[in-house]
Amino acid sequence: MIVPTDFPYSKNIIMSFVGGSTLHGAKLEGKDDTDLYGIFVEPPEKKLGLDSYEHYVHSTSPNDEKNGPEDVDIVLYSLGKWAHLACKGNPSVLHFLFCKPEFQTIDWCVLTQDLTPFIAKSHLSAFFGYANAQLQRLYNGRGPKDTNRPFLEAQYGYDTKYAMHVIRLLGEGKELMETGKITLPRPNAAFLREIREGKVKLYEIEKLADSLMNEARVAQAASSLPDTPDRKEISRRLASIYRRIWSD
């Protein structure tokens, strides 16, 4: 993974992958940018000192322009920040556990050899939260007005990308409760692309979303997953990685 020169810890990146619509299998050629994600280990003074360094974001698109298909967005998390968000069930952050890395070190392999401590029933609420946020944006009920895509609304009557994310998120949450895993790319990637292309009516999206929510709740109730992540074990693994890298 090539990162801009203003990121100071490129040698401490322990994994990276191509995310976004490419990861989901819902990318529309010629329309989507490229999203790159990764995790790094910050030095002791940034982990233990007064000034932290937990997050790095870069985009090749100018601030006042929408991303185009040639643009690249880069998001990097410190290992501790990533683990904190994973324990909260952040869907995008959980993807790190189930993707096929573009790059990984032995530390990442050891950390994720057994995913049991990271997976829990409590994660479903985060999937519901993000899906409901997308629904609210779909109905213009949340967020700045310019977050909507008027060209999609003009063409299809609703923002098809928001609609796709609703179905994707609920499907991922349901699968996680049923199996303890998230399949990437998504098994219904072709259907997700159809949603983005406006081939699915809005009322069908709403009906499917309700059905997926109900099925996810049933799966959660029947799941053998622990109620919450094993924070003690995750902390032990993180401390081991930090100590090893710092000792080098």
Distance of alpha carbon 187 from alpha carbon 183, whole angstroms: 7
Closest to 55 measured CA to CA, from 36, 27, 80: 80
Task: Note the pLDDT of residue 27.
Answer: 94
Q: Cβ(96)–Cβ(39) under 8 Å?
A: yes
* φ, ψ for residue 31, nearest 5 deg: -125, -25
Task: Note the pLDDT of residue 228.
Answer: 98
Tell me the average confidence (pLDDT) per consecutive run of 10 residues in the chain, 248 residues long. Answer: 90 97 94 95 98 96 78 97 98 98 98 98 98 90 54 85 97 98 98 96 96 98 98 98 96
Task: Note the pLDDT of residue 229.
Answer: 98
For 178-240, give the secondary structure using H, E and C. HHCCCCCCCCCHHHHHHHHCCCCCHHHHHHHHHHHHHHHHHHHHHCCCCCCCCHHHHHHHHHH
Distance of alpha carbon 66 from alpha carbon 7, whole angstroms: 23
Task: Note the pLDDT of residue 141.
Answer: 55
Task: Note the pLDDT of residue 146.
Answer: 45
Task: Note the pLDDT of residue 148.
Answer: 52
Distances (CA, A) of 138 to 30, 90, 163: 23, 20, 7
Q: Count of alpha carbons within 13 Å of 204, Cβ hemisphere only?
A: 10
Task: Note the pLDDT of residue 99.
Answer: 98
